[in-house]
Amino acid sequence: MPYDPERHGPHRIVGKGFHARVWAAVGAVPAGAVTTYGDVAAALGARSVARKVGHALAALPATGSDVPWHRVVQSSGRISGAPEGERALRQADALRTEGVGVHANGQVQDFPARRHIFGSVGE
């Protein structure tokens, strides 16, 4: 149950540091697990801002970041972008290092079972 507007209500991501919220949420994803842009957005309170989640991760420094951005994939379980793209290759490699299998086309093996479920905002 990624997000249920009927129960959670039409929350809005307000205030400051949207990036920081995204990074904090992504940082809560344990190694060996993956999550989706939409799930992160939902964890922040607004499932509709999945795009912004991607944007926030894109703003991360290429290296030296402690944010496990590679654990974030599309809702389909696929790594975003072209599978041969530089970013996608790095992401796939990082995931395999953590024991997460990734197909040549970028699809995460056993994606549904590895999908991390966020508890609540801020986790």
Partner DNA sequence: CGGCTGACGACCT
Partner DNA sequence: GAGGTCGCCAGCC
Indicate the residue type of 115. Answer: R
Helix (H, G, I), strand (E, B) or coil at 43: helix
**Residue pair 53/72 in contact by the 8 Å Cβ criterion:** yes
Contact code string over 31-50 relative to DNA, x by CB under 7 A: -----xxx--x----xxxxx
Decide whether 8 or 55 has the Cβ nearer to DNA. Answer: 55
**Residue 8 touching DNA (CB under 7 A):** no
CA-closest candidate to residue 1, choices 122, 118, 121, 123: 118
Which two structure tokens, joined as six digits, stand for 81? 């972008």
Decide whether 2 or 27 has the Cβ nearer to DNA. Answer: 2
Q: Which of 33, 80, 83, 98 binds DNA (CB under 7 A)?
A: 80
Which residues 6+ apart lie within 8 Å of 21 measured at CB? 13, 44
Which two structure tokens, joined as six digits, stand for 118? 């966020």
**Residue 59 touching DNA (CB under 7 A):** yes
Decide whether 12 or 123 has the Cβ nearer to DNA. Answer: 12
Indicate the residue type of 106. Answer: G
**Residue 115 touching DNA (CB under 7 A):** no
**CB 57, min distance to DNA, A:** 3
Contact set with DNA (CB under 7 A): 2, 12-14, 17-19, 36-38, 41, 46-55, 57-60, 69, 74-76, 80-81, 87, 91
